[in-house]
Copies of this chain bind each other. A is one copy, B any other.
């Protein structure tokens, strides 16, 4: 079995602090490291479309919501993991690129409706195909059975951390 960087860290801790059970780092450290490595590699693929990761995230959220590809700013905040200030900024930039429109909700003028433009929909529909295929390649070290196991264990972890489905 090959060792990863976290195995090295755990060996150092065992040597230096044998009195402490540092085994939780074997999961928390690996989740953190995997997230950063994956994010970095995914950006390589987004670069081919002139997209930032956060741009794809917003476009994909609107796309998978289905017709009319429209959500309020608040719904985008809820389904992202960033604050409302960050969403305001993201919408500014995507609207500037002509990928979404921003309109006041006539039914509740405090609320803002964000809608995918035809250009935004075309882009996200194209990128999502390449994106998921690219992700599948990043997971190629895992067998189909291992992928199912891993997804299931991560779900258990997430639910334990309070994550829940909204749909």
Given A39-B32, A64-B12, are A153 and B155 also a contact pair (CB < 8 Å)?
Answer: no
> How close is A140's CB to chain B, nearest CB, in angstroms?
7
In A1-25, the 8 Å CB interface with B consists of 1-9, 11-13, 15-17, 20-25
In the complex, are the beta carbons of B149 and A161 less than 8 A apart? no
A167 at the interface (CB under 8 A from B): yes
> How close is A145's CB to chain B, nearest CB, in angstroms?
10
A142 at the interface (CB under 8 A from B): yes
The quantity of this chain's copies bound in the complex is: 2
In the complex, are the beta carbons of B15 and A151 less than 8 A apart? no
In the complex, are the beta carbons of A132 and B34 less than 8 A apart? no
User: Which of A27, A36, A142, A149 counts the most chain B CB atoms within 10 A?
Assistant: A27
A166 at the interface (CB under 8 A from B): yes
Q: Using a CB–CB distance below 8 Å, which chain A residues touch chain B?
A: 1-9, 11-13, 15-17, 20-28, 30-39, 41-42, 63-66, 79, 81, 125, 128-129, 132, 135-136, 138-142, 146-147, 149-151, 153-167
